[in-house]
Amino acid sequence: MKAVGVVVEYNPFHNGHFYHVEQSKILSGADVVIAVMSGPFLQRGEPALLSKWQRAKMALLGGVDIVFELPYAFATQKAEIFARGAIDILAASGCDYVCFGSESGHLEDFYSTLNFINTHQETFDHHIKKNMDEGMSYPRATSSAFQELRPSSQMMDLSKPNNILGFQYIRAIEELNLSLTPLTVARKNADYHDQELSSTHIASATSIRKSIFTNNGRLDELSSYVPNTTYTELVDYNRQFGQFLQWENFWPLLQYRLLTTDQNDLAKIYEVEEGIENRILQLVEKASSFSEFMTLLKTKRYTWTRLQRLCVHILTNTSKEQIRDLSDRASYLRLLGMTDLGRQYLNKWKKHSSLPIVSRLASYKGKEIELDIKAAKTYALGFEKAYRHIALSLDYKSAPMFITKKEE
């Protein structure tokens, strides 16, 4: 059985994701789709809208056959580390292909860009450092450095988020010397950062989340933008927990952490660099919400995304030392769910797996998974008191879910 891998967050699973899964099958000719999916906290430094278990279920109902969790140590990182961890897991799970969405839509653009940067790596790095010394954020410094190299028109725009991730996926495949074959699908209709629901049946996850929070959890207008299975899961989840999570749910916890931490201890937290701990502690008492805190904290040098990731690490009390002690390679496969076809694949493939498959927390010990457990517990604290005990027990009580697909 051939497998195609996808790197996802599904926050939540929508029609654009369904299209991506379908195209991944068509382009690869694979029998099985394997998703590596972020856990409770995401690459842009945000808490997930709903738990990884519900998002995994949406994925399985939407065409994915196996869902593995992307560990916290990779999921809450800049694009390069995020991509490396995800690609490593897909390769370890036996994927023949990886298919990603991009604004470019042309695979040759990625290889041209990678070869161009590799050829000019020293100059490229020099321009990045110069731009950052002038106060630019890392993403802007990188994009500007690329333009300073005067790339040809055949190369892609590295300021676009999906192009950046796609570029890093291909770079990871090359650097890790993996046999994965990359494929790409052009994004349809909605832009990654679109804030408003579009007039078509495809909208960005950002606009879907905004609709949920601005409409006090009402889901009526989302039915055109998500598969019926996702809509049903959203309604059921809202009925069970009474809320969807966003950063504001965690603001009292983050504020408490900061108000009871001195600058020396704060400086030990991962991604707290260049004295920003002083600015953080100066501003935390002035903000009445997470959004206000971020607005006060934001500078040209620090993107909103980087600051959010930094706040996640403060919230979970993740230190530089903890991350430094971890390997830069995946060490386990945390199984969240599978379909009947996915189970058939795993039964055949697991004998050849280079990494252990973790289906229950009690079956595996390690520093990496301890970060995942801590992140899941922290995420559970965002729920209202009446639901918190349910959320706290999910990781320990939940076995990988099994979805039997109906015959067409």
Average pLDDT, the chain: 90
Residues 32 and 61 in one domain: yes
Residues 291 and 260 in one domain: yes
What value does the mean pLDDT take over residues 350-364? 86
- With respect to residue 144, please indicate whether it lies within any of the assigned structural domains: no
Residues 211 and 235 in one domain: yes
Please report the pLDDT score of residue 199 as a whole number. Answer: 58
Pick left, alpha or beta for residue 187 (phi over 0 → left; psi -120 to 50 → alpha; otherwise beta). beta
Question: Which is more confident, 105 or 179?
Answer: 179
Count of domains for the chain: 2
112-148 residues labelled b (16+ CB within 10 A) or e (exposed): bbbebbeebeeebeebbeebbeeebbbbbbbbbbbeb
Please say which residue of 256, 291, 324 terminates a domain.
Answer: 324
pLDDT, tens digit (0-9, with 9 covering 90-100), for 215-234? 876 788 888 999 999 999 99
Write out the residue range of the structural domain in which residue 195 sits.
Answer: 3-103+185-245+327-403
Q: Is residue 332 annotated as involved in ligand binding? A: no
Please say which residue of 324, 341, 362 terminates a domain.
Answer: 324
Q: Is residue 162 annotated as involved in ligand binding? A: yes
Cα–Cα distance for residue pair 266/277, rounded to 1 Å: 6
pLDDT, tens digit (0-9, with 9 covering 90-100), for 312-335? 999 999 999 999 999 889 999 999
Q: Is residue 171 annotated as involved in ligand binding? A: no
Q: Is residue 379 annotated as involved in ligand binding? A: no
Q: Is residue 187 annotated as involved in ligand binding? A: yes
Please say which residue of 295, 324, 353 terminates a domain.
Answer: 324
- With respect to residue 39, please indicate whether it lies within any of the assigned structural domains: yes
Alpha helices in 153-198 (DSSP H): 161-175
Residues 228 and 344 in one domain: yes
Q: What pTM does this model have?
A: 0.92
Residues 251 and 391 in one domain: no
Residues 218 and 263 in one domain: no
Q: Is residue 11 annotated as involved in ligand binding? A: yes
- Angle at the Cα of 212 (from 380 to 225), degrees rounded to 5? 115
Question: Which is more confident, 84 or 188?
Answer: 84
Indicate if the pLDDT at residue 174 is higher than 90. Answer: yes
Please report the pLDDT score of residue 192 as a whole number. Answer: 47
pLDDT confidence band for 113 (50 / 70 / 90): confident
- Angle at the Cα of 79 (from 176 to 168), degrees rounded to 5? 40
Q: Is residue 40 annotated as involved in ligand binding? A: no
Residues 93 and 13 in one domain: yes
Please report the pLDDT score of residue 196 as a whole number. Answer: 57
Question: Which is more confident, 25 or 352?
Answer: 25
- With respect to residue 164, please indicate whether it lies within any of the assigned structural domains: no
Cα–Cα distance for residue pair 43/54, rounded to 1 Å: 18
- With respect to residue 151, please indicate whether it lies within any of the assigned structural domains: no
pLDDT, tens digit (0-9, with 9 covering 90-100), for 258-300? 999 999 999 999 999 989 999 999 999 999 999 999 999 998 8
Q: Is residue 126 annotated as involved in ligand binding? A: no
Residue type, 330: A
| Contact between residue 313 and residue 150 where contact means Cβ atoms under 8 Å apart | no
- With respect to residue 174, please indicate whether it lies within any of the assigned structural domains: no
- With respect to residue 129, please indicate whether it lies within any of the assigned structural domains: no
Q: Is residue 101 annotated as involved in ligand binding? A: yes
Residues 50 and 191 in one domain: yes
Show Cβ contacts of residue 206 under 8 Å, excluding neighbours closer than 6 positions. 192, 193, 194, 195
Residues 383 and 264 in one domain: no
Stretch (H or E) spanning 401: strand 401-403
- With respect to residue 355, please indicate whether it lies within any of the assigned structural domains: yes
Residues 201 and 279 in one domain: no
Long-range contacts of 284-288 (CB under 8 A, 24+ apart): 284/255, 284/258, 284/259, 285/259, 287/255
Residues 234 and 258 in one domain: no
- With respect to residue 99, please indicate whether it lies within any of the assigned structural domains: yes
Q: Is residue 389 annotated as involved in ligand binding? A: no
Residues 240 and 377 in one domain: yes
Looking at residue 203, which CATH number applies to its domain? 3.40.50
Tokens of 217: 């959890």
Q: Is residue 17 annotated as involved in ligand binding? A: yes
Sign of CA dihedral 17, 19, 25, 27: negative
